[in-house]
Amino acid sequence: MISKMKNEGIIVKTIPYKETSKIVYLYTNEGFKSVKAIGAKKSKNSSFGFGEIGNIVSFIASDSSFPTISEYEIIYSSYKLTEDFNSIMALGKIIELLNYIPEDSIHYRIYPFIKDIIMNIDKNPLKALTIYLIKMTYNFGVSPKLDSCIICGNNNIIDFDVRLGGAICNNHSNNDNYLLKLMVEYYKEKKKIEEYNDYDFKKALEYLNEYYLIHTNIDLKIRW
Ligand SMILES: [Zn+2]
């Protein structure tokens, strides 16, 4: 008897397998999984969304080291984003960074957060990507120092120094920085994307791109 397991995940990569099938890589609340989707390439039906990157699917797979899908259901389809450049770009960067998540991360906490970000991406893609990148710093073992000036300890902080990885005070900067405000909001435990104020997210993303490059060595290539 073959036992079956119900699961859910975000599709991050697919590769062709034999004549008509695919191997599908998913990010789930237990980390990464790979499954075989037999016949996935043969289907001319465009609704066969099991192999579409960025889709969120629930599926039943055989319980083995290399499981085969028997049933699936699409929870979220990235197909509807194809008309909006920023949404597609944001989804691409979210999935790109997922590939770097350390194996021993707390996946059951990360997964629902990422699912929520993806399902709301089209409302404000640049904001969704910004908040995602702020949250994910923690999983790479870097946490920005935000309570006081990283240079002198003064509490009157106004700017964020990407290179030093912390807040700086009005004696050391005269630049009012969006990224600092966003990070402070994040660390005040705002949960939903709508709860965050609106800033110049393009600028915030430029800072975050540089922050990741310096502190994690990951180049997300976010340039405008
Ligand atoms: Zn200072």
Q: Which amino acid is at 51?
A: G
How far, in Å, is the centroid of ligand 1 from the Cα of 155? 8
pLDDT at 47: 43
Q: What is the pLDDT of residues 167-182, one digit of tens each?
A: 999 999 988 788 888 8
**Token pair 């030093």 in the structure block, residue:** 164
pLDDT at 46: 42
Per the prediction, the chain carries an average pLDDT of 89
Q: Whose CA is closest to 203, among 142, 130, 152?
A: 130
Identify the band that residue 39 occupies on the pLDDT scale cut at 50, 70 and 90: confident
Residue ranges near ligand 1 (ion) with Cβ within 5 Å: 149, 151-152, 154, 169, 171-172
How far, in Å, is the centroid of ligand 1 from the Cα of 8? 47
Backbone torsions φ then ψ of 12, nearest 5 degrees: -110, -20
**Is the separation of the CB atoms in 31 and 107 below 8 Å?**
yes
Q: What is the pLDDT of residues 126-172, one digit of tens each?
A: 999 999 999 999 899 898 889 899 999 999 999 999 999 999 999 99
CA distance 185 to 191: 10
Question: What angle (nearest 5°) sits at the alpha carbon of residue 28, between those of residues 25 and 110?
Answer: 125
pLDDT at 136: 93
How far, in Å, is the centroid of ligand 1 from the Cα of 131? 26
How far, in Å, is the centroid of ligand 1 from the Cα of 165? 14
pLDDT at 168: 94
How far, in Å, is the centroid of ligand 1 from the Cα of 180? 14
The residue-averaged pLDDT of 34-46 equals: 72
pLDDT at 48: 60
- The continuous run of DSSP H or E covering 204 comes out as helix 201-216
pLDDT > 80? residue 2: no
**Is the separation of the CB atoms in 45 and 37 below 8 Å?**
no
